[in-house]
Copies of this chain bind each other. A is one copy, B any other.
Amino acid sequence: MNLAPPRGMRDFYPEDMRIRNRIFDAWKRAAHLYGFEEYDAPVVETEELLTRKSGEEIIQQIYNFTDKSNRRLALRPEMTPSLARMVIARQKQLTYPLKWFSIPQCFRYERMTKGRKREHFQWNLDVVGEPGLMAETEILGAAITALRLLGLSEQDFRVRIGSRALLADLFKASGLAEQHFLPVCLVLDKMGKISPDEMQAMLRDEGLTPTEIKKVIDLMSITSIDEAVAYLNQVTPAIAEVRELFAIMTTTGLAAYLEFDMAIIRGLSYYTGIVFEAFDRQQKFRAIFGGGRYDNLLNALGGETMPSVGLGFGDVVIQELLTALDKLNDEKAAAEILMGYMTPAERDYALQVATAFRNDGIPVDLALMPEKAKKLFSRANKMGTRYTIFIGPDEVHQQTISLKNMITGESQRYSLSALKAGNINLH
């Protein structure tokens, strides 16, 4: 019997789950602060939906299979196609702009390398039906807020802002044919992950001549908005948009987290405007989150055109980063109180005490069999429980409890009647 989970997939033991919940809680809290509503879709979708508009790499990595009725299904590699399907299915009834979030588990069947698993959980934030930049800035605000809630600051990460629309302007100005634009984007997204030679080979494979390849590489040497303006010799709408985005983020006090980076392009084919990726400042890890504007996806999937912006933020890289920055040390055990009893004779009294606390909304981890006080205290220390109660014959006789604070070591005695009346305040 193989005791490992399927290759590339994770078990979450309670100590892993506490970390996962800390990340999920920050995501949910940030989404609520920004007024996003939660939704969800099936982890399994039709292969057709998932492969229709995603780009080559994802199609090769899709976890597809055939069900008992010969339907072609797949474990979703990303949430955006499901979101688009759900919106199109109710496109007339929904109220726009809609601001939705979800935390789907997503699957990619790919070669296993360091930091790469075959599944991850991915916080998705999407604004659908809003052409203006407030869609991008509310999403970026929520994502930066989540990182702050996880204890990260300006010292720890930056969000790099690119623009496919600006890249398209530059592409056109350089005289490159429009048909090459999307394939070139998908190649350029690999910059830094593959060698310059490999990149040139890939561009050659896309049918670009040596002159065209040189033009593409020249474009990628543009590192600032001012250089882009100089190259284009005008302020195009795409440039005005990048500037306006920085202005809004200045108003909300978050501009210090951003920097412009022409090389941010994203590996999915459906992006059309502003795109972004967040990185740790030491650049030791893969992108923390990424996303951008995808104005044509709903139309491409058979719905009406609807301007949209989305973000995906996985749980694997952020956990690696939090670990490296030593920010995962204070995860608490589940219950406020660990409670035990000396012999079977005290069990019923212990049950009464536990019931009174629980009825009062206070979690109690009650021992299931008698034990020695010493063993109870040692378990509490191991679990990091804040309070312990040990019931012996004296407590039963006096109808009292002795509540021990495991941090200060102090004990306080209460009557059972005071407890039942709700007169014990733990904090």
Which size class do A's interface residues fall under?
A: 35 or more
Q: How far apart are A347's CB and chain B's nearest CB, in angstroms?
A: 8
Residues on B with C-beta less than 8 A from A43 are: 43, 105
**Which of the candidate stretches A7-15, A175-183, A285-293, A396-404 sits at the interface with the other chain?**
A7-15
Judged by a CB distance under 8 angstroms, whether A363 is at the interface is yes
**Interfacial residues, chain A to chain B (CB-CB below 8 A):** 1-7, 9-14, 16-18, 20-21, 31-46, 48-49, 52, 63, 65-68, 71, 73, 75, 82, 85-86, 88-90, 95, 97, 99-100, 105, 107, 109, 119, 127, 130, 132, 134-135, 138, 141, 145, 248, 251-253, 301-302, 333-335, 338, 347-348, 351-352, 354-355, 358, 361-366, 368-369, 379, 382
Residues on B with C-beta less than 8 A from A89 are: 3-4, 11
Closest to A45 in B: B6
How far does the alpha carbon of A236 sit from the alpha carbon of B212 in the complex, in Å? 88
Q: How far apart are A308's CB and chain B's nearest CB, in angstroms?
A: 12
Q: Are B348 and A68 in contact (CB under 8 A)?
A: no
Q: Are A251 and B348 in contact (CB under 8 A)?
A: yes
For the complex of A and B, list the 6 residue pairs with the smallest distance between their C-beta atoms, beginning with the closest.
A35-B365, A65-B65, A9-B42, A14-B37, A3-B89, A1-B302
Residues on B with C-beta less than 8 A from A253 are: 355
Q: Are A130 and B352 in contact (CB under 8 A)?
A: no
Q: How far apart are A343's CB and chain B's nearest CB, in angstroms?
A: 13
Residues on B with C-beta less than 8 A from A119 are: 42
Q: Are B364 and A44 in contact (CB under 8 A)?
A: no
Q: How far apart are A334's CB and chain B's nearest CB, in angstroms?
A: 5
Residues on B with C-beta less than 8 A from A99 are: 365
Q: How far apart are A302's CB and chain B's nearest CB, in angstroms?
A: 4
Partner of A10, one of B42, B302, B351: B42
